[in-house]
Amino acid sequence: MTPRDTVAPPPSGERVGRGQVSEDEKARYIRRMFGVIAPRYDLINGLISGGLHHGWKRVAASLVQVPPGGRAVDVCCGTGDLALLLARRAGPEARVLGVDISEEMLAVARRKTAAAGLEARVKFSLGNAEALGLPDAAFDGATVGFGMRNTVHPDGALREILRVLRPGGRLAVLEFSRPRNPLVRGLYDGYSYTLMPWVGRLVSRHLDAYLYLPASIRAWPDQEGFAGMMAQAGFAQVRCRNLLGGVAAVHTGVRPSACR
């Protein structure tokens, strides 16, 4: 076998999650990983969260406060849960766009939207959170559900979302975070490094996608750190709401009238 025929193995999920690979490697890994796990993504989420993620997403959708008939964008939309929640909350005249890097995830989202009878309100588009390709000041609200960690440059994604929000438009970012109680944190660490990877590997059939998850959570900023990142990107009125003692958190921020 010549060097030209040699294909390097993909980076492990743990190395990617810890930020020990190049930006290009992370982007390729994330896209490939979600393409593989897309058909079982919803099942896995339900199993590893005990169904709690549905309630967390309802909280995030409620905090965006999209007005009736408003326009919203769900960035890193995955299989479309938040996009559908936003559309239902904002009423029959609302229009919601879901954007994701994985066409396989979007295919699942489109099927769910059709089954819910919301095709007229919710559309999906292949795209990158850091370069949405959408008009300035086009949306009343935006969400990101468990996807900000997966961007290569979260600060760049935040600035891009700020750009497409109208003045006064609100962003809600739902993400795994840092439990405040040391006992809860210890229990969660044990769960996420043992049972979570086992269940994820068994159901998703992806060798290390659910090693990436706990590693990326540990490398992610805590509540104060991400709030600071949002403020630095230009968001005002940044707030954090902890869920399940800080296992997850919803950060909200508003586009001010004058962006810097």
Provide the residue-wise pLDDT of the chain in tens; the chain has 260 residues: 444 444 455 558 888 888 889 999 999 999 998 998 899 989 888 888 889 999 999 999 999 999 999 999 999 999 999 999 999 999 999 999 999 999 999 999 999 999 999 999 999 999 999 999 999 999 999 999 999 999 999 999 999 999 999 999 999 999 999 998 888 888 888 887 777 777 777 776 666 777 888 888 889 999 999 999 999 999 999 999 999 999 999 999 999 987 55
Burial of 117 (0-12, 13-18, 19+ CB in 10 A): exposed
Please identify which residue in the block is written with the tokens 């025929």.
5
Annotated binding site: 79, 100, 128-129
d(CA 161, CA 166): 10
Instruction: Give the pLDDT of residue 215.
Output: 87
d(CA 62, CA 103): 27
Nearest to 27 by CA among 124, 130, 106, 110: 130
Interval 217-240: pLDDT, tens: 889 999 999 999 999 999 999 999
What are the φ and ψ backbone dihedral angles of 170, each rounded to 5 degrees? -115, 140
Nearest to 184 by CA among 138, 246, 249, 110: 246
- Reported as type and span, the H/E element at residue 95 is strand 95-100
Instruction: Give the pLDDT of residue 244.
Output: 93
> DSSP character for 125?
E
Please identify which residue in the block is written with the tokens 């559900």.
145
19-254 fold:
Rossmann fold (3.40.50)
Cα→Cα distances 57→54, 86, 95, 152, 242, Å: 5, 10, 18, 23, 13
Partnered with residue 100 across adjacent β-strands are 126
d(CA 143, CA 88): 14
Instruction: Give the pLDDT of residue 11.
Output: 54
Q: What are the sequence ranges of the domains in the chain?
A: 19-254
66 — alpha (psi -120 to 50), left (phi > 0) or beta?
beta
Q: How many residues does the chain have?
A: 260
Instruction: Give the pLDDT of residue 235.
Output: 98
Interval 127-148: pLDDT, tens: 999 999 999 999 999 999 999 9
Instruction: Give the pLDDT of residue 213.
Output: 84
Annotated binding site for S-adenosyl-L-methionine: 79, 100, 128-129
